[in-house]
């Protein structure tokens, strides 16, 4: 492990462009994230070609800002950690090419980082990181996975979604309820004034311990709206449906995560990915974990969604393994 390191993290896998400087694996000197949400909103989802172009446009500016904030120069960089997979091909390429070009010019190594590992390593940006073995729940727009983490980069996939990811379900339900893109934050906001018990919605794959399915709940919401079209013009009913949907997704995620903690005897739990930015989810998990003596690690909101800080941190721990 290098004693002095300054890792430049780069994340461009989807619709967030992000750059970070991490010093000695402990101090996040700067995190600059630019979301493209507004640019994609009118299309109702992420347009891949547009995402790549926007990454190309904004990345140099973010790098300048990060250098300025951390009071570092390009020559201080010792490593560049970049998300290489999974994600939108064109978007990933922008980050990878930027990393490789800079690395060539600065004569520093590039560390390839898997985006999902990055989400788990967001928990290492807090002063009290998890201890091994721990259960990791990644719930984002593209993935929903439960993993057993035995040691650094020793992951065992316990289960994942068989169809839609949890965030995808939030986005699809958001579109269905005419709340725009992305659905997650809009549903969370409206759910605050709704009754979470108003509608009964299904828990996907109820009897499968660790696998998820969210297409059934999306269809159930669709059928509910079809049978009660007044929901779309009645704010209270819409809020009730949002609250019921959110509650069911949270209960689904908790039920399977709790089972994984129990079966594998883990008292540490890391929860990350865009969906875990949801404060109702965070408080449900906090209450349940407290009752069951589980040490819960949820990154700060800005670190739950896509960011380069988590990529730099995963890169740092990759180095410690060499
Ligand atoms: O991790 P992330 O930023 O990007 C991916 O790797 O996919 O996750 C984005 C997803 C979107 O589907 C978005 O609707 C969801 O996370 N999301 C939320 C919230 N904020 C973002 N879902 C529920 N509640 C939120 N507050
Ligand atoms: Zn993500």
Cα separation, 103 vs 127, in Å, equals 30
Q: How far apart are CA 257 and CA 279, in angstroms?
A: 17
From 140, 245, 246, give the residue whose CB has the most ligand 1 atoms within 8 Å, as the site to mutate: 140
Whole-number Å distance, alpha carbon 165 to ligand 2 midpoint, is: 11
pLDDT at 2: 60
Structure-token match 């579109």, residue found = 175
Contacts of 78 (CB under 8 A, 6+ apart): 2, 4, 5, 6, 7, 108
Name the one residue in this structure whose structure tokens are 């609250």.
243
Q: What tokens were used for 254?
A: 């908790």
Query: Per-residue pLDDT averaged across 173-184, rounded?
Result: 95
**Mutational pocket test of ligand 1: of 170, 187, 284, the residue with most ligand atoms within 8 Å of the beta carbon:** 170
In whole angstroms, give the CA distance from residue 143 to residue 141. Answer: 6
Helices and strands per DSSP (H, E), number in the chain: 11, 10
Place of tokens 């008292």: 267
Whole-structure pTM value? 0.95
261 alpha carbon – ligand 2 mean position (Å): 23
From the CB of residue 121, how many other CB atoms can be counted at a distance below 10 Å?
A: 30
Most informative mutation of 182, 248, 272, 301 for ligand 1 (most atoms within 8 A of CB): 182
CA 183 to ligand 1: nearest atom = 14
pLDDT at 37: 87
Centre of ligand 1 from the C-alpha of residue 312, in Å: 20
Residue nearest ligand 1's atom 8 by CA: 274
As beta bridge partners, residue 160 has 145
- At 148 the three-state DSSP class reads strand
Q: How far is the CA of 231 from the centre of ligand 2 (A)?
A: 31
pLDDT classification of 155: cutoffs 50, 70, 90: very high
pLDDT in tens, 274-288: 999 999 999 999 999
pLDDT for res 322: 80
What distance in angstroms lies between residue 66's CA and the mean position of ligand 1's atoms? 24
Average pLDDT for residues 70-98, to the nearest whole number?
A: 98
> To the nearest whole number, what is the mean pLDDT of the chain?
96
Q: Which residues pair with 82 in a beta bridge?
A: 10, 112
Q: Which residues line ligand 1 (CB under 6 A)?
A: 14, 140-142, 167, 170-171, 182-185, 188, 273-275, 277-278, 305-306
| pLDDT at res. 45 | 86
Position 175 pLDDT exceeds 90: yes
């Amino acid at each position: 492990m290098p004693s002095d390191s300054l890792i430049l993290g780069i994340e461009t896998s989807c619709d967030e462009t992000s750059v970070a400087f991490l010093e000695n694996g402990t101090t996040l000197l700067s995190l600059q994230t630019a979301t493209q949400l507004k640019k994609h909103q009118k299309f109702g989802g992420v347009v891949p070609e547009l995402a790549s172009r926007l990454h190309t446009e904004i990345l140099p500016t973010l790098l300048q800002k990060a250098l300025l904030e951390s009071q570092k120069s390009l020559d201080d960089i010792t490593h560049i950690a970049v998300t290489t997979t999974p994600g939108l091909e064109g978007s990933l390429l922008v980050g990878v090419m930027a990393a490789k070009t800079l690395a060539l010019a600065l004569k520093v190594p590039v560390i390839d980082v898997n985006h999902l590992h990055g989400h788990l390593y967001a928990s290492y940006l807090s002063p009290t990181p998890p201890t091994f073995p721990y259960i990791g729940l990644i719930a984002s727009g593209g993935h929903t996975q439960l993993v057993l983490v035995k040691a650094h980069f020793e992951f065992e996939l316990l289960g994942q979604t068989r169809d839609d990811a949890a965030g995808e379900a939030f986005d699809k339900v958001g579109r269905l309820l005419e709340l725009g893109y992305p659905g997650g934050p809009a549903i969370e906001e409206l759910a605050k004034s709704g009754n979470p018990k108003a509608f009964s919605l299904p828990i996907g794959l109820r009897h499968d311990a660790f696998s998820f399915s969210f297409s059934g709940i999306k269809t159930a919401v669709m059928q509910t709206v079809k049978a009660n079209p007044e929901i779309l013009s009645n704010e209270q009913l819409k809020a009730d449906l949002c609250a019921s949907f959110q509650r069911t997704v949270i209960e689904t995620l908790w039920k399977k995560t709790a089972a994984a903690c129990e079966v594998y005897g883990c008292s540490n739990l890391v929860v990350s990915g865009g969906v875990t930015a949801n404060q109702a989810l965070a408080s449900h998990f906090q209450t349940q974990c407290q009752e069951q003596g589980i040490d819960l690690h949820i990154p700060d909101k800005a670190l739950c969604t896509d960011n380069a800080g988590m990529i730099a941190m995963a890169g740092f721990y990759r180095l410690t393994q060499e």
